Amino acid sequence: MTVRNAIILLGSYYEELNNKTKNQDERFFRIYIAIIVKIACLANDSPISITREAIISLKKIITYELSNNINRAIYALKGIEKIVLANINTKNKSRIKIIVSYALKNLSKV
């Protein structure tokens, strides 16, 4: 399994896990979101698809949590901010443009 596929799975299973735990374990889900963010931040010089999938996964979480737990939605939104800021210092300026455009595109769909 690739890192990209792992992030896709993390994003797609969030809602199912939340339903199984009946939305009870706040700390678990904050760690869950933090893992997605950390992987994307560490991948700032690796293929752009890892960062893109992390942003998409966080967008899914934000969309789901806006109607359930606004604090988690805000936490996921701050995660996207961290991903963008982690990539600001990269030497590849086109990467910054791509990441910011992915972030804005996905947030406009929320």
What share of the chain has pLDDT > 70, as a percent? 95
Q: For residue 110, what pLDDT is reported?
A: 67
89-105 pLDDT, tens digit each: 777 778 788 888 878 88
Domain span at 70: 3-108
Confidence of residue 78 (pLDDT cuts 50, 70, 90): very high
Q: Which long-range contacts (CB under 8 A, 24 or more apart) does 43-48 make?
A: 43/3, 44/86, 44/87, 44/90, 45/90, 45/92, 46/3, 47/4, 48/95, 48/98, 48/99
pTM (2 d.p.): 0.84
How many domains would you assign to the chain? 1
Nearest to residue 65, comparing CAs of 19, 31, 101, 20? 19
